[in-house]
Amino acid sequence: MHILSGKGHWPKIVFTSDFHQLVRGDLMPGTCAIQYDPLRIVPESEVRKLPATQRPVTAFVRCLPGGELWQGEMRFAPAATLLLDEDSTGGGTMLTTGCPVPNACDELECWFSYVDDSGNTLWDSAMGANYRLRFPSHDIRIEQAEIEARANEAQDLFRLRVESVGTVDSVLLRWRYANAINSVRHECPLTPAADGDKKVWTPPGGELGVSWDTPLAFDLVYYVAGHKHTDDNQGNWYVVSRPN
């Protein structure tokens, strides 16, 4: 199984211009880096003038469950105009800051504001609900993900075992065949079992029948208090195949 993990790496959240929130690293006490594309909130006609106007985008972060609130202003270095590199995936011209993360923090609630040239306050806040962000490396650990080859059978078996913190309410497995173009993505709700203060999640019956000798790519969608979060191996998906 091929895994790239964010465990033990400093946390970072990337807010892209196409309104995705990319969570990277592990939610550890210290500083969480924030990268924010100004095109999310600043009118396009004003973005290139930001270094000259020094008008900030203000970031608000509430650390949960403690409720500690932090806010900080993000600006570009002073200059006449900005040479803007537009990239909807977060690789373009980004505002940056860092917010403190206290001990025992499980989740970050984020929103942003900007005052435009006309004096109007604009908000990027998920329509007032704010962005609720958790870190999969803090919440979920894949204990087993393997494909068992079966001689003289039409299908192999995919076995998956996932451990989570107790606050996770549900987990959905999404998978596709990794070597097929435009492969259909399958979904399977996982079944929980209590294990002390944690939960263990497996497919119904503990395994899934899959195509013979075909690698799988999968991710996990999980919910905490009604909020959706995704563990997609930091954008790389998880890949599993039969052992050689």
Give yes or no for residue 1 having a pLDDT over 70: no
Cα separation, 105 vs 99, whole angstroms: 12
Give yes or no for residue 235 having a pLDDT over 80: yes
In percent, the amount of the chain with pLDDT more than 90 equals: 80
In the chain, what are the domains? 12-133 (2.60.40), 137-240 (2.60.40.2440)
Q: Report whether 25 contacts 10 (CB < 8 A).
A: yes
* pLDDT bucket at 198, cuts 50 / 70 / 90: very high
pLDDT at 142: 95
pLDDT at 140: 94
Cα separation, 86 vs 25, whole angstroms: 24
pLDDT at 111: 98
Which residues 6+ apart lie within 8 Å of 165 measured at CB?
Answer: 106, 138, 139, 140, 197, 198, 199
Give yes or no for residue 211 having a pLDDT over 70: yes
pLDDT digits (tens, 9 = 90+) for 4-52: 567 778 999 999 999 999 999 999 999 999 999 999 999 999 999 999 9
* pLDDT bucket at 243, cuts 50 / 70 / 90: confident
Give yes or no for residue 200 having a pLDDT over 70: yes
pLDDT at 117: 94
